[in-house]
Amino acid sequence: ARRVRTLDLQKAKRDGRRWAMLTSYDQYTAALFERSGVEALLVGDSAANNVYGHATTLPVTVDELIPLARAVSSATSRALVIADLPFGSYEVSAEQAATTAIRFMKEAGVHAVKLEGGVRMADRVRAVVDAGIPVMAHIGFTPQSEHALGGYKVQGRGDAAQQLLADARAVTEAGAFAVVLEMVPAELAAEVTRELQIPTVGIGAGAGCDAQVLVWQDMAGLRTGPVPRFVKRYANLDEVLSGAVRAYVDDVASGAFPESERDFS
Ligand code: KIV
Ligand code: NA
């Protein structure tokens, strides 16, 4: 099958067919996820947390994300690969946004980029789209502005619903092909989804969205400890992997590994 295109995802909305997106930051997960039916892979700036071990997404750089994005696009042949523009790589100007997005296309071979912000970033979305690069917008809770927003909070409650609608309209008007809605009340996300022609991708935004996205280490249970309420754990990879590693360590200690059939004589 050929590579998924942004137009396919837009057609899925018209056909009422929901699709799944997952983050990926390396070749094995990328190939496995597309083999398992994931249509869009996000090389998220959540690599800051999930690959590089930072507490927030803020520190990760373009130079750190590009090699991960390169691995994901190289390892796949079907999924649409989207890279996040990290904090600091597009906010300064429309020109900066286009320049950074072009780097991801040329050096990482991705098929689209994602950036955070609605009305306030609409001219950046437009500049990247004008460069011939599909843009996935990201509104509602935007982790790169966590400090401005005053923490991890649901966005769009009460009077803030009008701002969220304005953000959704602004990024659509600016040419985004899809929009992530993060931590938005389910009813409002459903309303946005009904109003917009472009697909909405929900994370903590209810079942009314056209698609869903999760961080893979969260959904596969590799991340331990408390997770946000919107995360569903579909596996316990922490248990599976630590079981395997403990067995290996014990076998080395006891001499049970390596067995003689693995020897070279
Ligand atoms: O970086 C990321 O993982 C994301 C998604 C969770 C939407 O932006
Ligand atoms: Na992100």
Quote the pLDDT of residue 235.
98
CA of 122 to the centre of ligand 2 (A): 17
Closest CA to 181 of 118, 88, 242: 118
User: Ligand 1: does its nearest atom lie under 6 Å from the Cβ of 44?
Assistant: yes
In this prediction, what percent of the chain has a pLDDT beyond 70? 100
Closest ligand 1 atom to residue 180 Cα is 7
Could you report the per-residue pLDDT of 131-143, keeping only the tens digit for each? 999 999 999 999 9
Over range 227-250, report the average pLDDT: 97
Non-local CB neighbours of 237 within 8 Å, separated by 6+ positions: 217, 220, 221, 222
Tell me which residue has its CA closest to atom 4 in ligand 1.
44
Tell me which residue has its CA closest to atom 8 in ligand 1.
44
Non-local CB neighbours of 94 within 8 Å, separated by 6+ positions: 123, 124, 126, 127
**pLDDT classification of 1: cutoffs 50, 70, 90:** confident
Could you report the per-residue pLDDT of 151-183, keeping only the tens digit for each? 999 999 999 999 999 999 999 999 999 999 999
ipTM value, please give it. 0.99
Closest CA to 25 of 179, 202, 177, 217: 217
Contact criterion met (CB below 8 Å) for 28 and 68: no
Over range 142-151, report the average pLDDT: 96
Lowest mean pLDDT among 110-114, 180-184, 226-230, 239-243: 226-230
Q: What is the mean pLDDT of the chain?
A: 98
Could you report the per-residue pLDDT of 15-63, keeping only the tens digit for each? 999 999 999 999 999 999 999 999 999 999 999 999 999 999 999 999 9
User: Ligand 1: does its nearest atom lie under 6 Å from the Cβ of 213?
Assistant: yes
Contact criterion met (CB below 8 Å) for 11 and 80: no
Catalytic (active-site) positions: 182
- Dihedral angle of Cα 62, 65, 66, 71, to the nearest 10 degrees: 180
Consult the annotation and say whether 116 binds a ligand: yes
262 pLDDT more than 90: yes
CA of 57 to the centre of ligand 2 (A): 7
User: Ligand 1: does its nearest atom lie under 6 Å from the Cβ of 113?
Assistant: no
User: Ligand 1: does its nearest atom lie under 6 Å from the Cβ of 45?
Assistant: yes
Closest ligand 1 atom to residue 44 Cα is 1
In this prediction, what percent of the chain has a pLDDT beyond 90? 99
Quote the pLDDT of residue 245.
98
Over range 245-250, report the average pLDDT: 98
The residue ranges of every structural domain in the chain are 6-234, 236-265
Closest ligand 1 atom to residue 50 Cα is 3
CA of 56 to the centre of ligand 1 (A): 12
Quote the pLDDT of residue 85.
99
User: Ligand 1: does its nearest atom lie under 6 Å from the Cβ of 23?
Assistant: yes
- For residues 233 and 119, what is the distance between their CA atoms, to the nearest angstrom? 34
Could you report the per-residue pLDDT of 200-217, keeping only the tens digit for each? 999 999 999 999 999 999
Provide CATH code, domain 6-234.
Answer: 3.20.20.60
Contact criterion met (CB below 8 Å) for 194 and 5: no
Over range 65-75, report the average pLDDT: 98
